Structure 1
Amino acid sequence: MERIQWPVQDLQEGCEWTTDLMDNFAIYFGHVLCNSFYPVLQRAIGVGSAFEGWSPREQDVVYRVLVAMNPPRGHSFQLELDTAGQRRGRNFRVRVQLECTCSREQQGENMLCFLHQPQEVLRSNQDASLLHTLCTGSYLDVQKTARWFYQLVRAIWPALPQSHNWHLVLLPSRRSCQFQVSNGAASFRIEVLFGVRQGDSDIFVSSQPREACTPSTTWPESYAVAEMKFFKCIARQAPPDSLHLKCLQFFSCLQLGSGFSTYTIKTIVMHLLSIIPVSRWRRRDFVRRLVDISEGLRFCVQVRCLNHFIVGNRSLPGEIRVPPEVQMAETCNLFHHLVMDPVAHSQAMSEYVD
């Protein structure tokens, strides 16, 4: 323990700064978009490793947030499951449908009905519907949404109090909005993802891709908010000297450059935290817990099975809201590719031994 050089970056400070910045953005988003037919943007939710309290890369910390979107006036969102399916999770498309607002017209609201007013009247008296701005066909387009959000950030930044002392640099991204803010002494890299909530649950469909070439109208199912809430729940139960996050961080750092993703290590640790009381993750237990993580990874590689922590898990804390179809689903094997490809399995075994 004494010889481990732990990261010195204050993740909590970065999370708080990012949250304050996104809250300020949200205020201006509300003012700018209040009478538009663009998505209604909700307050950002911190997700990912930094907001869970750990990071495998001190020099490359990304403060990731999810901005939920609600449909604007006269529109509704319908989530359509991609029937092709994915073994690592489900994919959706967000169908945008127009809703009748004739009653609003009769009540004197300043809005014409997209369904029942003539097109020439709409074109000359009202902004275009969401179908004609951020959609491809009838479906919400991730890349168009990202470009629109970039424009919002660029336009609103000068009005924020942070702009007086911080410098903003927008970074390229096709399915999210990434930017760097710095003031000479500190620097934060922030990634904004977009999502649509499934009912009132903690499960979203989001812009974060699951595969390398994800179509622009495909929104993969995201469990990031549920996973963040799991770590918050564990933190409330943990004693002050708990090292469960340091175990996760340390083992993830050891695996950087190997064939095992940080998400794989995180999944193993989440499973262990659900069966090993958090009181047994203290300083005196540090080596034992690292061995547990190592043995868990070895076993999962050997049997070619690592179950997703959220999908099909009927033992999640009650405060994590999961739709029945996700909670009662068949377990999702994150190592399915090892089942299908014996060569990949052999390589995984050799990489682990190395």
Structure 2
Amino acid sequence: MHGGIFKVCLVVVTAIVNHPLLFPNNSTAVPADDDFIHQKLREREENLKKHLLELEQLLSRQEEPAEDDAKTESKELEGESGWDLWSTVSMVIFLMIEVWRQDFKDNNSPEQSKEEDDLVFIGNNCHGVVLPDKPILTIFYDQYIHATTHDAVRSREFVEGFADDLLEALRSLCNRDADMEVEDSICIGSMYENWRVNRPLICDLLVPFAPPEPYRFRCQPWVSDPSLGPDKQSYGTILVCGPDDEPSGCVCDKKRLGEDMLCLLHHPTNNRKVNKDINLLCSTNTNYLDIGQVMKWFQTAVTKAWSKISHKYEFELTFSHLDSPGALRVKFKSGKVISFNITPVVQYEDTDLYFISHFPSMPREVSSGIYWMLSFAVYERRFLKDFAKKLPDNSCHLSCLQIMTFLHSKQCHITGSSGLTTYHLKTVLMYLLLSRPSTDWGNVLLEERLRDMFKSLEKSLLEKKLNHFMVGNSKLPNTVNLPEHFRVAEPLNLFRSFVLNRDLYQKTLSMFYEMLKNATVVINEYSLHLPNGTTKPS
């Protein structure tokens, strides 16, 4: 019996030592052919039996008397029968290990390959990248970005004046009883936050509009509408309501008037006739405002308004993108071109939030739809303006964002666009402003703060998580005056698309690290002077 146990242990140890799963560095791949495995096992079994039998016979001749030959023979037969039993059990164990190895390999290969894809970028981190030092960054900013900022001031002044004239002409052509009412434009975006560097210099303006009386818009953002699922976060719907939808027949905001005040304009005694021919731009068979209908209406209105005032100007006005009716392009006789976006929006209640069909920086194909995105652009501009008052004179916070935006733009020209946008870069900066003392943003610390921005962005990309700065941010200053139900809402992950789209995530991460590697080369290429003050050869 002890000999049988010794034999089975020997076979099992041999199988384990030679198994590639447990000792991959000391073995070769196991052949997939079962017959080949069985043949090898049988050969090893026969060799072991032969050597063990010879050993037992030698010991029996030396130590046991001749009269015990019969007993020895019977023990040998017993050992051989025990060997057969234990050999069979050993072979079964060996085969079970092999089957388990194959299942383990098949079930874990996809996961391992995915993990390996993510681990490709581990060696490429911000700590190992050499960014330009402070003198080079200063030269680059003064010679390239500062000149761009100076041009932006003149472009803004022209666009604001022309937009006012265009909207005034549009209002003069509208029928107040049947057409949408257009309000004054609102300036937003990088041009008015003083960090735009990419050419062409494009101004972004929002144009709020409202339905003719006695109709009104009732906006329903995702935070107040449970029917909007996770895929519609940051979206909302706009319901077109008539006088019959209000118990009192009044379309005024009761919060402005007070509960006990009487509205003389929309009181039930004022039996104003409702025009049944009004085009309320609703989606088919619904009372929800349709994006496609609004875009068509706005394009037609702008075209008519320009026809009325075109004789006053000596330049051409055209649409830059057919899929974005508010994208306009002015071309002077000198050849100079100024582009700007003028986008129709709907105001959310009595706030500075606006429902928008698409963000001007990311034009999309106009299609019929009732889900509008919510823009926090006015609050973001207010935050940056107010926070700048706390920072040192000539602070470097916008310089960091400008340099990072410039590098991102140049890398996109090389590798193509990805899931990373300038809005993400701006969000990273705003979070960093709240996390560091105001004294850390002096101009002499430009290099350190730029590296901090890259590190923060890298961390967010690796975690696939970058929360919206306004939604669910408990650290947001009260001076921003954001509506409370957005401040306490669930955080909104701007990198949610990376969780859902692995290919997009891999492309974005690869582009980010390429941007890091190329940062010094690109900045040197666009600098007009070398660090020692000599002019670069042309």
Check the 8 A contact 1:39/1:69 in 2, yes or no.
Answer: yes
Q: Structure 2: how far apart are the matches of 1:264 and 1:151?
A: 34
- Tell me the alpha carbon deviations over residues 313-350 of structure 1, each in whole angstroms, 9 at most, x when there is no partner: 23333343322221111111122233445565555444
Q: Structure 1 stretches of 5 or more lacking a match? A: 115-121, 123-127
List aligned pairs for 1:86-235, cutoff 5 A. 86=230, 89-99=233-243, 112-114=273-275, 128-131=277-280, 133=281, 135-136=283-284, 137-160=286-309, 163-185=312-334, 186-208=336-358, 215-235=368-388
Out of 38, 56, 59, the position equivalent to 2:179 is 38
Q: Structure 2: how far apart are the matches of 1:326 and 1:77?
A: 20
Distance 1:212 1:105, change over 3 A: closer
Post-superposition shift, 1:28? 2.9
Counterpart secondary structure, 2:401 = helix
Out of 73, 87, 93, the position equivalent to 2:213 is 73
Higher percent of residues as helix: 2
Q: Structure 2 stretches of 5 or more lacking a match? A: 1-137, 251-263, 515-538
Q: Structure 1: how far apart are the matches of 2:449 and 2:311?
A: 42
Check the 8 A contact 1:143/1:174 in 2, yes or no.
Answer: no
Check the 8 A contact 1:175/1:207 in 2, yes or no.
Answer: no
- Tell me the alpha carbon deviations over residues 146-197 of structure 1, each in whole angstroms, 9 at most, x when there is no partner: 2222222222224448942332112334454111113234421111112111
Distance 1:348 1:273, change over 3 A: same
Distance 1:52 1:89, change over 3 A: farther
Q: Structure 1: how far apart are the matches of 2:363 and 2:157?
A: 31
Q: Structure 2: how far apart are the matches of 1:276 and 1:155?
A: 51
Q: Structure 2: how far apart are the matches of 1:327 and 1:108?
A: 41
Check the 8 A contact 1:242/1:278 in 2, yes or no.
Answer: no
Q: For residue 65 of structure 1, what is the amino acid of its counterpart?
A: L
Post-superposition shift, 1:208? 1.1
Could you list the structure 1 runs, at least 4 aligned residues long, displaced by more than 6 angstroms after superposition: 101-110
Query: Percent same amino acid at aligned positions?
Result: 24
Counterpart secondary structure, 1:194 = strand
Post-superposition shift, 1:36? 3.2
- Tell me the alpha carbon deviations over residues 63-111 of structure 1, each in whole angstroms, 9 at most, x when there is no partner: 1111112231121112234634345832222121221579979999895
Deviates more, 1:271-280 or 1:36-45: 271-280
Q: For residue 112 of structure 1, what is the amino acid of its counterpart?
A: K
Check the 8 A contact 1:204/1:223 in 2, yes or no.
Answer: yes
Check the 8 A contact 1:201/1:321 in 2, yes or no.
Answer: no
**What is residue 125 of structure 1 aligned with on the other side?**
none
- Tell me the alpha carbon deviations over residues 7-55 of structure 1, each in whole angstroms, 9 at most, x when there is no partner: 4332222222222222223333333336232222111111121122122
Counterpart secondary structure, 1:267 = helix
Deviates more, 1:212-221 or 1:96-105: 96-105
Structure with larger Rg:
2
Distance 1:108 1:13, change over 3 A: farther
Check the 8 A contact 1:176/1:194 in 2, yes or no.
Answer: no
Q: For residue 235 of structure 2, what is the amino acid of its counterpart?
A: N
Q: Structure 2: how far apart are the matches of 1:88 and 1:139?
A: 16
Higher percent of residues as strand: 1
Q: Structure 1: how far apart are the matches of 2:292 and 2:160?
A: 24
List aligned pairs for 1:17-56, cutoff 5 A. 17-33=158-174, 35-56=176-197
2:483 pairs with 1:323: yes
2:153 pairs with 1:16: no
Give the TM-score of the pair, scaled to structure 1. Answer: 0.83
2:428 pairs with 1:268: yes
Post-superposition shift, 1:239? 4.3
